[in-house]
Each structure stands twice: as C-alpha cells, then as structure tokens.
C-alpha cells in the first residue's frame, strides 16, 4: 500500500454519492419512495464510514467496497423504520417517520425490502470474501433483532419489582447497537481477507465503540442541551429505561428510589418539572460521571485494540472516534 488512507470526509463523500445513485426502481412507489425518503434524511453514515476506514487500513482502493459497505447503512435504516413502528415514534432526524408520513403497512413492507436490499448490496463483494461476510452479517443482524426484543421486554417491566439491572441493560445495547459497530469494524478485515485474529480484534474494538456510542446517546439526551430533531429529555418523558435511569435506580435507596419511580411514572407532571426532577436525582447520584467513566473505559479499549494491530494507518480512524467522543449532538 502506497497511498495514505482517505480522510473521513473523503469516504463520506463516496458514501453519499453512492446512496444518491442507489439502484431503486420508481415503481411500486409505495415500496420504494419510503426507502428513498429515509435514506435521504441524512445522518452521519457512521457505520459504512467505519467499515470503509477499516477496509482502508488494509487496502488502498476502497471504491469497490463502497456498495458492500452500504449494506450496513441500509440495514441500520431498516431497523430505524421498523423500530419506529414498534415505538410509535413520530419523528426521526427532525422529520416525520416513515409510518407517520405514510402508514404502518408501508413502513413494514418498505423495511422488509430494505433488509433484502442490504443483502443485495453485501452480495456485491468479491465472491471469495462473500461467505465470511455473509455469515458475520447474519449473526449480527439476528443479534440486533434480539436486542430490539430485549428492549421491548425491558420497557414492559416495572421499576419497583424486578427492575432492569445494569448488566441486563448493557447486554441489551450490546445486541441492539454495539454488534453492528463490531461488524462495521470487522468488515475491513473480512473484505480484505485478513486472518481471524485481526478480524476478532477489530470486532471487539467495534463493540466497545458501539457501547460507548449508545451510552453517550443516553447521556446527550439529558445533558446534551439543544439537539436537532430530538426532544431534550425525551428519554425521561418517555420513561425510557436508559443507562442513567437503570443506574440511578440501582444506586438510590429508600425514599429517593421511591421519589424517582414516582416522578418517572407520573402522568400529570409538567414536562419541564419531570425532566428537572429526574435530572436532579441524576446529579445527586453522579450518574453522569458514572456513565462518562463507563464511556471512557470503552473508548480506551477501542484505542488499545487498534494499537494492538501495529498498523501505521490507524490515525484517521482514531481521529474520527476522538471527534465523535466529544460530539454534542
């Protein structure tokens, strides 16, 4: 390899260009318009970006791998479309969700088509690399479904009896979110035929990154200030069992624990009062600091894993993650 790895911006441009040129038929419009819509809402394209930066660790020309890497973005957007149906979420990235803009059935079927399309994109890999990529993708995709199921199961459980534990919560976000980051990082090694040791190392790095990413998401929802396309404190108002809520319920005892449960389940409290009350408990039990320290530990593991590779090409991917770690939205 002679050339420097591409910058995150250069790879993002390649990704965005390919997404705009995706081979999606005009008809039936009810099937394909929602796919164009959700993919057109933007987002950071973080997963294919990581996949291609991972590939770029081992190979100069990322061009032929852009379409296969897009499988991860299309898969991720498929999960958003279906999760939004299940959560009855009205807004995604500041715009109406697919099921709100069209109909539940449309979102259901378009989502199905997106999952198939993700596989069709993955199949654009060199034949020799396909079996391993497909097997890893299948395993990841099934785990993401398991994670979403656990998330729904957890939302049905109460707060006082049989509460969700920190370990359960971490296992849920590992499945729902982190393993797809694991696959993204692993993508480069699988697509360039590295040995299983390198592949496992990058997978673990990605899982750590994904856990850090989700925990940061939980934090930012409460402490991130003004955000685009997302309510501030939305998780609190939805009584969503985030890391912060699970943790504060584990740390608080007696009256405080009762107070938290009373506030989070209160139907009549004004939004701002509810957010302020719960934030107050978060501050009292320092769960922001606990979460941040958990995030830092996962990021340390991520960087350490990359260093173990012994490659002089990891600078750009590390810089990207560093910038994500300080994101405010």
CB atoms within 10 A of CB 307: 12
Contact segment (CB under 8 A) with a second copy among 9-17, 103-111, 216-224, 284-292 equals: 103-111
Beta bridge partners of 91: 96
CB atoms within 10 A of CB 293: 10
Binding to a second copy, residues 238-257 (CB under 8 A):
none
Contact indicator for 325, 294 with CB cutoff of 8 Å: no
Rounded least distance, CB 29 to a second copy, Å: 9
CB atoms within 10 A of CB 116: 12
> How many residues are there in the chain?
329
Contact segment (CB under 8 A) with a second copy among 44-52, 146-154, 178-186, 294-302 equals: 146-154
* 115 or 290: CB nearest a second copy: 115
Rounded least distance, CB 202 to a second copy, Å: 21
Using CB under 8 A, count the residues that bind a second copy. Answer: 35
* 113 or 236: CB nearest a second copy: 113
Tell whether the torsion through CA atoms of 61, 57, 182 and 228 is positive or negative: negative
Q: Does 142 bind a second copy (CB under 8 A)?
A: yes
Rounded least distance, CB 108 to a second copy, Å: 6
* 141 or 190: CB nearest a second copy: 141
Q: What angle do CA 111, 235, 142 make, to 5 degrees?
A: 35
Query: Binding a second copy by CB under 8 A: which of 58, 100, 146, 200?
Result: 146
Contact indicator for 38, 77 with CB cutoff of 8 Å: yes
Binding to a second copy, residues 11-40 (CB under 8 A):
28, 30-31
Binding to a second copy, residues 150-179 (CB under 8 A):
150, 152-153
231-247 in b/e form (b: 16+ CB < 10 A) is ebbbbbbebbbbbbbbb
* 119 or 223: CB nearest a second copy: 119
329: which residues sit within 8 A by CB, 6+ positions away? 220, 224, 227, 228
Q: Does 138 bind a second copy (CB under 8 A)?
A: yes
Rounded least distance, CB 194 to a second copy, Å: 18
* 148 or 189: CB nearest a second copy: 148
Residue 242: closest CA among 326, 140, 173? 173
Residue 79's alpha-carbon distances to 113, 157, 177, in angstroms, are 12, 23, 10
Q: Does 283 bind a second copy (CB under 8 A)?
A: no
Residue 274's alpha-carbon distances to 224, 240, 253, in angstroms, are 17, 13, 20
Binding to a second copy, residues 117-136 (CB under 8 A):
117, 119-120, 123, 127, 130-131, 134-135
What SS3 state is found at 272? helix
From residue 60 to residue 99, the character string flagging contacts with a second copy as x (rule: CB under 8 A) and all else as - is: ----------------------x--xx-------------
What SS3 state is found at 226? coil
Which positions lie near a second copy, rule CB under 8 A? 28, 30-31, 82, 85-86, 104-105, 108-109, 111-113, 115-117, 119-120, 123, 127, 130-131, 134-135, 138-139, 141-142, 145-146, 148-150, 152-153
């Amino acid at each position: 390899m002679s050339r420097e790895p591409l910058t995150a911006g250069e790879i993002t441009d390649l990704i965005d260009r390919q997404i705009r040129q995706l081979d999606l038929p005009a008809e039936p419009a009810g099937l394909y318009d929602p796919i164009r819509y959700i993919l057109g809402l933007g987002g950071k394209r973080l997963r294919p970006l990581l996949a291609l930066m991972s590939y770029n660790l081992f190979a100069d020309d990322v061009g032929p791998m852009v379409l296969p890497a897009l499988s991860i973005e299309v898969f991720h957007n498929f999960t958003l479309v279906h999760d939004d149906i299940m959560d009855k979420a009205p807004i995604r990235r500041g715009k109406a969700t697919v099921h709100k803009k069209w109909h539940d059935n449309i979102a259901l079927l378009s989502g199905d088509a997106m999952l198939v399309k993700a596989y069709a994109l993955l199949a654009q890999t060199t034949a020799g690399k396909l079996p391993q990529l497909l097997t890893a993708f299948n395993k990841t995709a099934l785990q993401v479904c398991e994670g979403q199921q656990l998330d729904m199961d957890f939302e049905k459980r109460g707060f006082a009896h049989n509460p969700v534990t920190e370990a359960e919560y971490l296992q849920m976000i590992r499945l729902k979110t982190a393993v797809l980051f694991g696959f993204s990082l692993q993508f480069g090694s699988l697509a360039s035929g590295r040995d299983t040791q390198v592949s496992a190392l990058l997978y673990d790095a990605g899982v750590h990154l994904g856990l850090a990413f989700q925990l940061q998401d939980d934090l930012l929802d409460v402490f991130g200030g003004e955000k685009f396309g997302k309510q501030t404190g939305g998780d609190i108002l939805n009584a969503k069992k985030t890391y912060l809520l699970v943790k504060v319920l584990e740390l608080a005892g007696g009256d405080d624990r009762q107070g938290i449960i009373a506030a989070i389940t209160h139907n009549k409290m004004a939004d701002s009062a509810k957010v302020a009350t719960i934030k107050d408990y978060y501050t009292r039990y320092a769960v922001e600091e606990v979460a941040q320290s958990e995030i830092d530990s996962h990021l340390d593991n991520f960087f350490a894993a990359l260093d173990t590779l012994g490659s002089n090409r990891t600078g750009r991917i590390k810089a990207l993650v560093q910038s994500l770690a300080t994101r405010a939205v």
